[in-house]
Amino acid sequence: MEATVAAPFSSFVTSTQNSSSSPCSLLLSRKNLGSVNLRFKSRLSVRASSTSDSVVTLLDYGAGNVRSIRNALRHLGFSIKDVQTPGDILNADRLIFPGVGAFAPAMDVLNKTGMGEALCTYIDNDRPFLGICLGLQLLFDSSEENGPVKGLGVIPGTVGRFDSSAGIRVPHIGWNALQVGKDSEILDDVGNRHVYFVHSYRAIPSNENKDWVSSTCHYGESFISSIRRGNVHAVQFHPEKSGEVGLSVLRRFLDPKSSSKQKPEEGKASKLAKRVIACLDVRTNDKGDLVVTKGDQYDVREQSNENEVRNLGKPVDLARQYYKDGADEISFLNITGFRDFPLGDLPMIHVLRYTSENVFVPLTVGGGIRDFTDATGRYYSSLEVAAEYFRSGADKISIGSDAVYAAEEFIKSGAKTGKSSLEQISRVYGNQAVVVSIDPRRVYVNDSDDVPYKVIRVTNPGPNGEEYAWYQCTVSGGREGRPIGAYELAKAVEELGAGEILLNCIDCDGQGKGFDTDLVKLISDSVGIPVIASSGAGTPEHFSEVFETTNASAALAAGIFHRKEVPIHSVKEHLLEKSIEVRM
Ligand code: 1PR
């Protein structure tokens, strides 16, 4: 396998902090220099006329998952021309810049390749442009992300980090509502509906940039969710991950003539929605087929029927179905990844590739993300494994066992090595791309001082009347208990760079009796990153219970969806009845 997708990108990485001018301020100053300006203009001339209505130029500088935007563009009937040189930017008929990764390395690439200057010229000439996420942030004067770092300087303002002291969870992950301001056209179909965000940094509306701002979003404070001036657009959210609403944003940008003037159906979005996630535990069964399975307390084999691995369907088909049914996210867990190396287990990569072709909500993949040496002695870093997953269409990767070892080490030494899979992947792709999946088992104790881990008083006493419990973390799919509690693990992995926690509970898994709200409350009250409650959902009421009694940002279920006992829309309708905001 070739090096990670980050390789061409990171090979450019040096600090941009000392560069005195942004490419656009360079452009502006050259404009005032007569002959220099003429020379410059002739070198960076922008093609005026359009040659193809179905080609879109994509600026992909190799820092993450742009497969989703590629898939969305193809789905809308467009073919893609990749930018290879600054000239490709200047010659584009319509340009999309799906910024992924971190601000400083992205600016380094733009500066060193001359693409920054070309972008400024292109935008200055009011050519059709759509920046996405980091592609919006790079247009600003500067960013505080590992900085200050100078941006392109097109829009006045500084990109800063969300302030978690305002009581919000950072990263801002999930489906949020927009307050659409001035006529934006590409947002005409959004109405009061949710779109998908995933970011820790944001730009704030001000007097200086107010002419650019076309919508804002509220998350602890009001931040800029889109800008528009003439043909130049940029959005902080991910249209390629925002389902049908997001596809319509892209369609309106790509083909403004086709925009219907019909008033869109009104939604009810007003704030960040609670997410409902469908989870697919995937493994190869005894016949060698890749199947979605589901266990009871992590045992996925049938009690009868020759002890076969339970087969509940095909991963790609089920994922497509859940997308249509309204799942806000889909998680694939390769549950034998701890023993089978995932890059040897290529079907998982294919599952992601096929799924991402027409599923336009975020996809998470987990299982086996760790350093590995194969039978031939070839060493693969966890970063390579993650890179392959991102390249294949994953938006987030989920780490289980390896995060437990990293947290144990961190707690023991008190120092970060920077070498764990968690630290490395989050450094390159951002913490919003890294989920830690915790697989704890409840251990009852008589007294809160019985063990050196965080102990809580439980709602339902244990079999011998024990009033307390701690939650012991496990590895290798629940097979091995480790000397660390879920509380200690959650705090440690947050420090090490996790952006989200997928909180399972082996005792509740597959039982259909509800989430372990004691556990979910404990963890969601202890960390500042989003927590996904998992294991035990049996009815729609279990979802409202977990959202009403804990600070979970999302709830995940598997069995009830696979067995078609409760459709996703029934869960969401129930949540709405309970006044819990969800995306419909
Ligand atoms: O340790 O990095 O290789 O990751 C392995 C991943 O596979 C972990 O995320 C771990 O949770 C998962 N896993 C390993 N073995 C099993 C198993 O079931 N034998 N599945 C397993 C865990 C738990 C949930 C499940 C919910 C909801 N599955 O994801 O989907 O409990 O189920 P429910 O709604 O039916 O109750 P690594």
pLDDT at 39: 31
Structure tokens at 530: 């989003």
Lowest mean pLDDT across 3-7, 108-112, 386-390, 441-445: 3-7
CB of residue 440 inside a 6 A radius of ligand 1? no
- Rounded distance from Cα 501 to ligand 1 centre (Å): 13
Look at residues 213, 233, 258 and tell me which one is the last residue of a structural domain: 258
Residue nearest to atom 8 of ligand 1 (CA): 400
Left if phi > 0, otherwise alpha if psi is -120 to 50, otherwise beta: which for 506?
alpha
pLDDT tens for residues 86-130?
999 999 999 999 977 788 888 999 999 999 999 999 999 999 999
pLDDT at 191: 83
Q: Is the domain of 244 the same as that of 378? A: no
What number does the ligand 1 atom closest to the CA of 293 have? 18
Let me know if residue 109 belongs to a domain: yes
**Tokens 């790509």 map to which residue?**
254
pLDDT at 28: 43
- Rounded distance from Cα 409 to ligand 1 centre (Å): 23
Q: How far is CA 212 from CA 155, 194, 209, 233, 449, in A?
A: 7, 22, 6, 9, 58
% of the chain beyond a pLDDT of 90: 71
CB of residue 503 inside a 6 A radius of ligand 1? no
pLDDT at 60: 86
- Rounded distance from Cα 477 to ligand 1 centre (Å): 7
Q: Is the domain of 415 the same as that of 512? A: yes
My answer on whether omega of the bond before 171 falls inside 30° of 0, hence cis, is: yes
What number does the ligand 1 atom closest to the CA of 399 have? 2
Q: What is the 3 state secondary structure string of 88-132?
A: HHHCCCCEEEEECCCHHHHHHHHHHHCHHHHHHHHHHCCCCEEEE
Count structural domains, the chain: 2
Q: Is the domain of 105 the same as that of 200? A: yes
Whether 211 sits among the annotated catalytic residues: the reply is no
CB of residue 534 inside a 6 A radius of ligand 1? yes
CB of residue 400 inside a 6 A radius of ligand 1? yes
Q: Is the domain of 249 the same as that of 284? A: no
Q: Is the domain of 233 the same as that of 339? A: no
- Rounded distance from Cα 233 to ligand 1 centre (Å): 41
CB of residue 538 inside a 6 A radius of ligand 1? no
My answer on whether omega of the bond before 156 falls inside 30° of 0, hence cis, is: no
- Rounded distance from Cα 62 to ligand 1 centre (Å): 31
Q: Is the domain of 254 the same as that of 282? A: no
Let me know if residue 464 belongs to a domain: no
Q: Is the domain of 324 the same as that of 203? A: no
Whether 281 sits among the annotated catalytic residues: the reply is yes
CB of residue 216 inside a 6 A radius of ligand 1? no
Residue nearest to atom 10 of ligand 1 (CA): 477
Mean pLDDT of 367-390: 88
Residue nearest to atom 6 of ligand 1 (CA): 367
Lowest mean pLDDT across 100-109, 292-301, 342-351: 342-351
How far is Cα of residue 121 from the mean position of the Cα atoms in its chain?
31
CB of residue 368 inside a 6 A radius of ligand 1? yes
pLDDT range class, residue 342, cuts 50, 70, 90: low
pLDDT at 527: 98
Let me know if residue 133 belongs to a domain: yes
pLDDT at 278: 98
Helix axes 421-429, 382-391, angle to 10 degrees: 40
Let me know if residue 264 belongs to a domain: no
Q: Is the domain of 171 the same as that of 313? A: no
CB of residue 536 inside a 6 A radius of ligand 1? yes
Mean pLDDT of 144-149: 89
CB of residue 402 inside a 6 A radius of ligand 1? yes
What number does the ligand 1 atom closest to the CA of 402 have? 2
Q: Is the domain of 55 the same as that of 81? A: yes
Pocket test for ligand 1, best of 509, 539, 560 (most atoms within 8 A of CB): 509
Cβ-contact 388, 349 below 8 angstroms: yes
Let me know if residue 462 belongs to a domain: no
Pocket test for ligand 1, best of 318, 333, 480, 561 (most atoms within 8 A of CB): 333
pLDDT at 314: 94
**pTM for this entry:** 0.91
CATH number for the domain spanning 171: value is 3.40.50.880
- Which ranges constitute the DSSP H helices of 236-275? 243-254
pLDDT range class, residue 345, cuts 50, 70, 90: low
Candidates 172, 194, 238, 562; catalytic one? 238
CB of residue 398 inside a 6 A radius of ligand 1? yes
Domain that holds residue 181: 23-258
Say if residue 133 carries a ligand binding annotation: yes
DSSP per-residue letters across 8-66: HHHTT----TT--S-HHHHHHHHHTSTHHHHHHHHHTPPP-S---SSEEEE---SSS--
Closest CA to 111 of 22, 42, 28, 30: 22
Q: Is the domain of 186 the same as that of 315? A: no
Q: Average pLDDT over the chain, rounded to whole?
A: 88
Whether 133 sits among the annotated catalytic residues: the reply is yes
Q: Is the domain of 252 the same as that of 308? A: no
What number does the ligand 1 atom closest to the CA of 295 have? 18
Let me know if residue 417 belongs to a domain: yes
Query: For the chain, what's the residue count?
Result: 584
Let me know if residue 433 belongs to a domain: yes
Structure tokens at 20: 């005195």
Whether 439 sits among the annotated catalytic residues: the reply is yes
Residue nearest to atom 17 of ligand 1 (CA): 298
CATH number for the domain spanning 500: value is 3.20.20.70
CA–CA distance, 560 with 256 (Å, rounded to integer): 42
Beta strand segments in 230-334, E: 232-235, 275-284, 290-293, 329-334
pLDDT at 64: 61
Q: Is the domain of 46 the same as that of 141? A: yes
Let me know if residue 584 belongs to a domain: no
Say if residue 37 carries a ligand binding annotation: no
What number does the ligand 1 atom closest to the CA of 403 have? 2
Pocket test for ligand 1, best of 285, 504, 562, 564 (most atoms within 8 A of CB): 504
Look at residues 258, 285, 317 and tell me which one is the last residue of a structural domain: 258
pLDDT tens for residues 465-494?
999 999 999 999 999 999 999 999 999 999
pLDDT tens for residues 373-384?
887 888 889 999
CB of residue 342 inside a 6 A radius of ligand 1? no
Look at residues 216, 232, 258 and tell me which one is the last residue of a structural domain: 258
